[in-house]
């Protein structure tokens, strides 16, 4: 086994035209398609927002305008949630590095921490959803766009957590190891992607609500 | 037959066809009723002449090569063509010339387009409300409304389009311009009518089961004739029987007979019977209860569901699918309800 | 001993014996790209016939003014499903899933695609996804808002129905088929990028593979955008989320942008593979190289890039800002240039050729002829002022059928006639094939050309009825359409007869020079006994038939092995 400080490639360069494995290019293509999906929905949000005469749209029956949303969109919990998710990205990164060095114990530990942080993020989101009054999915577009985008993201995080659990089992069984790490690498890339999307959504929904 | 010969023949054909295109006014097929129509027809002719050229080149050489270079029966199945991979000069030429043509076309189109979207300093304004499936044209200057007809004078016109329910599109082929009417998003058209006549206003954006029937008669009139028409409309609105002292049997029941009882009779359609006064009080089974509230037209379902502006109880304006009640008929219903909605 | 094909896992045995598997495993659940390709074609063809019959029914109704053969809502359902099925359930699956799957790995000298099991999953999503669209007919009415599904008409519940089940079915169907498409795109992209035979650089790729490469990049980037739009519309219909509801902050035009951002590249997804097929057929049947190979390759790339920049030319009358309309007019005009380059190159390929005027070439030339006309009317529509008159009329219906039927369908049939021997191991009857061509070409033109005229004269589209002045034209069109439809029976008979009684096909009946002809008809599992090594351009007729630069593997195993290791560096 190689020493901990050097990363020695233990598998040969794949026998492909580009030298990159099929799986790696495949996962990058998949993530590109996911970016296109989120991209189109983010475009949708920006378009609706710009085209609306007043943003957020007035809730039928309520007198005041923007303040109510800002109060409800208390930024404390979402910020904590963001830190949790981004931390999980860091732990995942080091988990993969540990795998490449052959340090399975460290890999497993960091992977479990990542999963816990991921579940923590999802719990935070669930709590946030419950506490948003008057921001409904069907009464006006502010709620509709918010829930659609963060909901889709949450679904992706959930899928990601399941993916990580599968990877955990694979690593425990020894099927995923230093010589066979494509799936782990794919999971890492996916997890980073989910993080990146969240950063964008956090900026769009929580950092740019207008205050009058 | 050599390549040069073929090219010459194609050029001759092109010149002949182009001359015919240029010489024949498109207005023979369909009149040009606006200034934009003339500009657009010119552009179209320009493109048609160029299209004929492209078509002749592609089809002509394709046919010629097929005839000239086809394998003869006595030649072997493996006989080869020449080993020609390309000709850079030719390829550059056939890239640049079409590109230049397209630049010219774009510039010409841009000029026409600028003219089309330009907002005239003075124009006669018509507000068009498109709904499923009728055209309502309002003349704000004279406070006249017309349904499924549209009268306008010669000269600069601005049409302001609104859609009540789904997207519709305002098109008069002789005008050569069209614009969608979009719910929640007013749009405008500007043009100058130059030809008196009767035209068809056609909905050209799919809007549902009545899309095929959504036409209006559009009349372009000289200014004096138009003003005469306006006067006539204003008299018809104010006159035609006093709005006071309306009688159910004389003024309201006939409206029902003309527009409603084809569907709403006895227990038909929604169990609503508009053949009798009692039926109004009984109501139907989709919107229960009396459809009239004496002295309160705004609160009466009858008024809400037939009126020009929604929201409509049950979601659909009546009569379903149009044509809707005229301004006069609506005024009568309003007045009769306010007068107590009596069974007189 | 066979060298491992590029990119395949070491445990993927190219010579696995599958004889002991059941018919169902071998023909429906196979992971072999050729079987999957044929399955896509068969399923797609079924949808083609059904969608065609819907159109014929519409033409019965349109044969005379005032006809009430179809109730208006039924007519609208037929017109919606006809368009949607032709696009999503026939043209795209047939060209990409069908020809793409079958030919692309062969043409690059690969044994299969990068992810064969994922390929199977892609295919298995297709039939159920398609059927969902038709289930609407059983639930009170299929979708009836046109294939463009604009809100508010698409989010409006049709009269008499408690919910618009048909529209929900339509949305789900397109989402499922879109997922299938996206997975295929990922698969093909990895295959082309990573699994080309040694020596096959990008500029030695057959032009069909170039077309597939650009097509799948487009698919990968825009299909998810459509999925986004479809989900948003689904959310509105199912849960009332008011994305397109102006009174609650929504915007009607939003859908049009999201929809056309996908659907315009979609038309290139439908035409580029067909153009790729034409680029393969014309050189082979002219017995000379394609004229301007690099120009065609670069044009394909240019079209792919420009495809993203032109979408709102479908929205010129929608109320888009004027400056934006000018921008889209300019980009749309630009995209005509690479298209023209291709057309001229195809015609120039015929020059000094030795033309075999057989069915594949006839259909290919039919394509050039009709697609050019469609392209010309496209340029007319690109000019905003002229579009203001022509949009939403039968002129547009004519244009779109000239490019999609005259283009994609002619392309598909030329491909079918070209590769039928390769795929089935049988030959088709040449006389019947030619008869089919002439019927299709003549009656296609008599059906769709008059539509240009009635459109300009004032007949709108998506109408079940029209002004009586168009009665004669419409009757003529309908009669032509019936004959056009009937002419497909010639093909079906020809195909069935060939499969049972057709003469056995040699490996290379047409003398082609691309790699699919360098193996048996049909090719075995794993495609090639040894990995081909490529050392020249495609369409090089100076080399002897049937291979181009391919070593004869059987006799020179050791030598080819040694060479393989050297070449794999590159």
- Annotate C238-269 with DSSP letters as a single string: HH---TT-GGGT--HHHHHHHHHHHHHHHHHH
DSSP classification of residue B251: I
Nearest-Cα residue of chain C relative to residue A145: C243
What whole-number distance in Å separates Cα of residue C281 and Cα of residue C358?
11
* Nearest CB to A29; choose among C186, C227, C261: C186
Could you tell me which of B74, B22, B29 has the C-alpha nearest to residue B48? B22
User: What pLDDT is attached to residue B239?
Assistant: 52
Q: State yes or no: pLDDT of C561 exceeds 60.
A: no
Q: Based on C-alpha coordinates, what's the Rg of chain C?
A: 24
Decide if A48 and C229 are in contact by the 8 Å CB cutoff: no
Could you tell me which of A32, A48, A33, A30 has the C-alpha nearest to residue A148? A48
Residue B205 contacts C where some CB pair is shorter than 8 Å = yes
* Nearest CB to A138; choose among C194, C195, C239: C239
User: What pLDDT is attached to residue B242?
Assistant: 52
A80, A116 in Cβ contact below 8 A? Answer: no
> What 3-state DSSP class applies to C109?
coil
Contacts of C247 in chain B (CB under 8 A): 184
Could you tell me which of B333, B330, B323 has the C-alpha nearest to residue B147? B323
Number of separate domains in chain B: 3
* Nearest CB to B106; choose among C73, C333, C545: C333
Interface B-C, measured as beta-carbon pairs within 8 A, has a size of 256
Count, residues in chain C: 570
Q: How confident is the model at residue C560 (pLDDT cuts 50, 70, 90)?
A: very low
Q: How confident is the model at residue A62 (pLDDT cuts 50, 70, 90)?
A: low
User: What pLDDT is attached to residue C191?
Assistant: 97
For residue C501, which phi and psi values (nearest 5 degrees)?
Answer: -115, 0
C211, C275 in Cβ contact below 8 A? Answer: yes
Could you tell me which of B29, B7, B36 has the C-alpha nearest to residue B192? B36
Could you tell me which of C344, C391, C462 has the C-alpha nearest to residue C77? C462
Most confident of A34-48, A56-70, A169-183, C548-562: A34-48
Question: Half-sphere exposure of residue C69, counting CA atoms within 13 Å on the CB side?
Answer: 15
What whole-number distance in Å separates Cα of residue B199 and Cα of residue B83?
60
* Nearest CB to C190; choose among A15, A25, A36: A25
C44-95 tens-digit pLDDT: 999 999 999 999 999 999 999 988 899 888 999 999 999 999 999 999 999 9
DSSP classification of residue B121: S
B171 CB-near residues (< 8 Å, 6+ apart): B177, B178, B201, B202, B203, B204, C392, C393, C460
Interface A-C, measured as beta-carbon pairs within 8 A, has a size of 129
User: What pLDDT is attached to residue C558?
Assistant: 31
Give the closest-approach CA distance of A39 to chain C in angstroms: 7
Residue B183 contacts C where some CB pair is shorter than 8 Å = yes
What whole-number distance in Å separates Cα of residue C13 and Cα of residue A55?
60
Could you tell me which of C438, C440, C313 has the C-alpha nearest to residue C377? C313
Which of B10, B27, B28, B69 to mutate against chain C (most C CBs within 10 Å)? B69
Q: How confident is the model at residue A52 (pLDDT cuts 50, 70, 90)?
A: confident
Q: State yes or no: pLDDT of C533 exceeds 50.
A: yes
Could you tell me which of B212, B172, B52 has the C-alpha nearest to residue C380? B52
Decide if C225 and A36 are in contact by the 8 Å CB cutoff: yes
User: What pLDDT is attached to residue C204?
Assistant: 92
Would residue B76 count as lying in a domain?
A: no
Q: How confident is the model at residue C528 (pLDDT cuts 50, 70, 90)?
A: confident
What whole-number distance in Å separates Cα of residue B23 and Cα of residue C111?
62
pLDDT-flagged residues of chain B (< 50): 240-241
A195 CB-near residues (< 8 Å, 6+ apart): A85, A86, A88, A89
DSSP classification of residue A174: T
* Nearest CB to C330; choose among B94, B106, B202: B106
Question: What number is the average pLDDT over the span A167-195?
Answer: 92
Contacts of C258 in chain A (CB under 8 A): 40, 43-44
* Continuous H helices in C95-206: 101-107, 116-135, 165-194
Listing from the earlier edge strand, what are the strands of the sheet with B177-181?
B149-153, B215-221, B197-203, B168-172, B177-181
C196-212 tens-digit pLDDT: 999 999 999 999 999 99
* Nearest CB to B212; choose among C341, C384, C464: C464
Nearest-Cα residue of chain A relative to residue C237: A138
One domain for residues B133 and B176: yes
Decide if A33 and C221 are in contact by the 8 Å CB cutoff: yes
Q: Which residues pair with B157 in a beta bridge?
A: B124, B191
Give the closest-approach CA distance of C336 to chain B in angstroms: 8
One domain for residues B11 and B107: yes
Between C170 and A205, the more confident residue is: C170
- Considering chain A, what is the average pLDDT of its residues? 85
Question: What number is the average pLDDT over the span C6-18?
Answer: 43
Report helix, strand and coil shares of chain C as percent, to nearest 5.
Answer: 70, 0, 30
User: What pLDDT is attached to residue A61?
Assistant: 52
Listing from the earlier edge strand, what are the strands of the sheet with B187-193?
B144-147, B134-139, B124-131, B155-163, B187-193
Decide if B91 and C336 are in contact by the 8 Å CB cutoff: no
> What 3-state DSSP class applies to B45?
helix
What's the CATH architecture for A22-206?
Up-down Bundle (1.20)
What's the CATH architecture for C29-567?
Up-down Bundle (1.20)
C215-258 tens-digit pLDDT: 999 999 999 999 999 999 999 999 988 899 887 878 999 999 99
For residue C379, which phi and psi values (nearest 5 degrees)?
Answer: -65, -35
What whole-number distance in Å separates Cα of residue B171 and Cα of residue C334?
28
What whole-number distance in Å separates Cα of residue A95 and Cα of residue B334?
76
Chains near A with 3+ CB pairs less than 8 A apart are C
User: What pLDDT is attached to residue C17?
Assistant: 47
Q: Is the peptide bond before B323 cis (omega within 30 degrees of 0)?
A: yes
Residue A151 contacts C where some CB pair is shorter than 8 Å = no
Identify the residue whose tokens are 């949808």.
C47
Tokens of C405: 């039927």
User: What pLDDT is attached to residue B264?
Assistant: 82
The counts of H helices and E strands in chain C are 18, 0
C46 CB-near residues (< 8 Å, 6+ apart): none
Q: State yes or no: pLDDT of A66 exceeds 90.
A: no
Centre a 10 Å sphere on the Cβ of residue C232 and count the other Cβ atoms it contains.
25
Give the closest-approach CA distance of C63 to chain A in angstroms: 42
Find residues 252-311 of chain B whose CB sits inside 8 Å of chain C. Answer: none
Q: Is the peptide bond before B26 cis (omega within 30 degrees of 0)?
A: no
Decide if C386 and B40 are in contact by the 8 Å CB cutoff: yes
Centre a 10 Å sphere on the Cβ of residue C24 and count the other Cβ atoms it contains.
9
Residue C291 contacts B where some CB pair is shorter than 8 Å = yes
- pTM value > 0.80: yes
Domain ranges of chain C: 29-567
Would residue B83 count as lying in a domain?
A: no
Q: State yes or no: pLDDT of C23 exceeds 90.
A: no
What whole-number distance in Å separates Cα of residue B333 and Cα of residue B341?
9
Would residue B166 count as lying in a domain?
A: yes
Residue B66 contacts C where some CB pair is shorter than 8 Å = yes
Domain range enclosing B59: 3-64+90-117
Q: How confident is the model at residue A59 (pLDDT cuts 50, 70, 90)?
A: low
Decide if C72 and B61 are in contact by the 8 Å CB cutoff: no
* Nearest CB to A138; choose among C187, C193, C242: C242
Nearest-Cα residue of chain B relative to residue C295: B91
């Amino acid at each position: 086994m190689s020493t901990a400080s050097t990363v020695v490639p233990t598998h040969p360069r794949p026998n492909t035209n580009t030298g990159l494995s099929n799986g790696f290019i495949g996962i990058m293509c998949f993530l590109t398609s996911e970016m296109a999906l989120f991209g189109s929905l983010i475009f949708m949000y920006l378009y609706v927002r710009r085209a609306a005469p007043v943003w957020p749209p007035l809730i039928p029956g309520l007198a005041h305008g923007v303040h109510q949303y800002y109060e409800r969109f208390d930024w404390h919990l979402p910020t904590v949630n963001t830190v949790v998710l981004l931390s999980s990205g860091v732990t995942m990164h080091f988990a993969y590095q540990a795998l490449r060095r052959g340090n399975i114990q460290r890999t497993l530990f960091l992977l479990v921490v990542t999963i816990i942080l991921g579940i923590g993020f999802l719990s935070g989101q669930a709590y946030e959803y419950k506490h948003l009054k008057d921001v409904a999915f069907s009464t006006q577009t502010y709620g509709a766009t918010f829930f659609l985008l963060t909901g889709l993201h949450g679904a992706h995080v959930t899928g990601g957590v399941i993916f990580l659990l599968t990877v955990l089992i694979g690593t425990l069984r020894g099927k995923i190891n230093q010589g066979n790490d494509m799936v782990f690498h794919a999971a890492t890339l996916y997890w980073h992607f989910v993080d990146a999307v969240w950063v964008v959504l956090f900026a769009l929904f929580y950092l740019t609500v207008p205050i009058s | 037959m050599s390549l040069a010969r073929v090219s010459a023949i194609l050029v001759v054909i092109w010149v002949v066809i182009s001359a015919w295109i240029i010489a024949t006014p498109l207005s023979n097929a369909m009149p040009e009723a606006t200034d934009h129509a003339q500009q657009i027809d010119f552009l179209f002719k320009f493109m048609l002449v160029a299209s004929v050229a492209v078509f002749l080149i592609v089809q002509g050489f394709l046919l010629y090569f097929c005839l000239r270079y086809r394998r003869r029966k006595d030649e072997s199945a493996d006989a080869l063509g020449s080993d020609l991979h390309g000709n850079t000069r030719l390829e550059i030429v056939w890239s640049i010339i079409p590109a230049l043509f397209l630049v010219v076309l774009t510039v010409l189109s841009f000029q026409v387009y600028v003219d089309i979207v330009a907002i005239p300093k003075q124009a006669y304004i018509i507000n068009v409300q498109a709904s499923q499936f009728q055209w309502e044209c309002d003349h704000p200057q004279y406070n006249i409304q017309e349904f499924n007809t549209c009268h306008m004078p010669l000269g600069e016109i601005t049409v302001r389009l609104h859609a009540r329910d789904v997207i519709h599109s305002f098109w008069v082929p002789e005008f050569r311009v069209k614009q969608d009417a979009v719910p929640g998003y007013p749009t405008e058209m500007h043009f100058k009518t130059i030809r008196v006549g009767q035209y068809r206003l056609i909905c050209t954006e799919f809007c549902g089961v009545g899309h095929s029937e959504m036409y209006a008669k559009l009349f372009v009139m000289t200014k004096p004739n138009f003003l005469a028409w306006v006067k006539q409309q204003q008299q018809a609105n104010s006159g035609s029987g006093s709005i006071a002292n309306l009688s159910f049997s004389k003024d309201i029941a006939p409206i029902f007979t003309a527009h409603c009882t084809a569907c709403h009779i006895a227990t038909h359609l929604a169990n609503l019977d508009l053949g009798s006064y009692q039926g109004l009080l009984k109501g139907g089974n989709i919107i229960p209860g009396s459809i009239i509230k004496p002295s309160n037209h705004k609160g009466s379902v009858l008024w809400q569901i037939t009126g020009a502006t929604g929201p409509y109880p049950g979601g659909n304006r009546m009569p379903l699918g149009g044509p809707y009640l005229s301004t006069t008929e609506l005024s009568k219903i309003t007045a009769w309800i306010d007068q107590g909605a009596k069974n007189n | 001993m066979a060298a491992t094909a590029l990119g395949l896992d070491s445990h993927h045995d190219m010579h696995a014996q599958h004889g002991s598997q059941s018919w169902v495993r071998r023909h429906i659940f196979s992971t072999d790209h050729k079987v999957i390709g044929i399955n896509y074609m068969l399923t797609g063809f079924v949808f083609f016939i059904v969608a065609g019959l819907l159109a014929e029914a519409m033409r019965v109704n349109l044969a005379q003014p005032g006809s009430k053969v179809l109730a208006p809502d039924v007519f609208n359902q037929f017109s919606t499903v006809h368009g949607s099925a032709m696009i999503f359930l026939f043209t795209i699956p047939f060209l990409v899933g069908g020809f793409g799957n079958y030919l692309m790995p062969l043409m690059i000298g690969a044994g299969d695609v990068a992810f064969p099991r994922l390929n199977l999953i892609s295919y298995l999503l297709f039939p159920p996804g398609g059927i969902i669209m038709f289930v609407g007919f059983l639930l009170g009415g299929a979708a009836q808002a046109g294939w463009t599904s604009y809100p508010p008409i698409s989010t409006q519940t049709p009269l008499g129905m408690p919910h618009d089940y048909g529209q929900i079915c339509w949305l789900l169907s397109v989402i499922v088929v879109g997922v299938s498409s996206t997975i295929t795109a990922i698969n093909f992209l990895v295959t082309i990028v990573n699994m080309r035979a040694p020596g096959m650089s990008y500029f030695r790729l057959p032009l069909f593979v170039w077309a597939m490469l650009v097509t799948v990049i487009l698919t990968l980037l825009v299909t998810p955008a459509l999925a986004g739009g479809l989900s948003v519309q689904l959310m509105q219909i199912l849960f009332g989320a008011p994305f397109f509801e102006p009174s609650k902050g929504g915007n009607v035009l939003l859908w049009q942008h999201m929809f056309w951002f996908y659907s315009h590249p979609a038309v290139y997804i439908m035409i580029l593979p067909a153009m790729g097929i034409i680029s393969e057929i014309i050189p082979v049947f002219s017995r000379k190289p394609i004229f301007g190979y690099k120009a065609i390759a670069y044009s394909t790339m240019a079209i792919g890039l420009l495809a993203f920049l032109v979408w709102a030319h479908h929205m010129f009358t929608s109320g888009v800002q004027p400056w934006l309309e000018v921008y889209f007019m300019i980009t749309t005009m630009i995209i005509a240039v690479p298209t023209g380059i291709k057309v001229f190159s195809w015609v120039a390929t015929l020059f000094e050729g030795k033309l075999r005027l057989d069915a594949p070439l006839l259909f290919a030339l039919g394509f050039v002829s009709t697609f050019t006309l469609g392209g010309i009317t496209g340029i007319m529509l690109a000019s905003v002022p002229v579009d203001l008159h022509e949009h939403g009329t039968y002129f547009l219906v004519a244009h779109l059928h000239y490019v999609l039927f005259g283009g994609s369908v002619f392309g598909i049939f030329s491909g079918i006639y070209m590769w039928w021997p390769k795929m089935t191991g049988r030959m088709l009857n040449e006389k019947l094939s030619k008869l089919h061509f002439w019927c299709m070409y003549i009656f296609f033109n008599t059906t769709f050309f008059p539509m240009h005229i009635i459109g300009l004269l004032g007949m709108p589209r998506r109408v079940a009825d029209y002004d009586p002045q168009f009665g004669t034209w419409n009757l003529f069109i309908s009669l032509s359409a019936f004959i056009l439809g009937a002419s497909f029976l010639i093909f079906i008979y020809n195909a069935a007869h060939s499969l049972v009684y057709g003469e056995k096909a040699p490996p290379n009946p047409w003398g082609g020079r691309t790699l699919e002809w360098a193996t048996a008809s049909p090719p075995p599992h794993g495609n090639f006994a040894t990995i081909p090594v490529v050392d020249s351009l495609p369409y090089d007729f100076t080399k002897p038939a049937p291979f181009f630069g391919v070593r004869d593997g059987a006799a020179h195993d050791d030598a080819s092995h040694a060479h393989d290791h050297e070449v794999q560096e590159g």
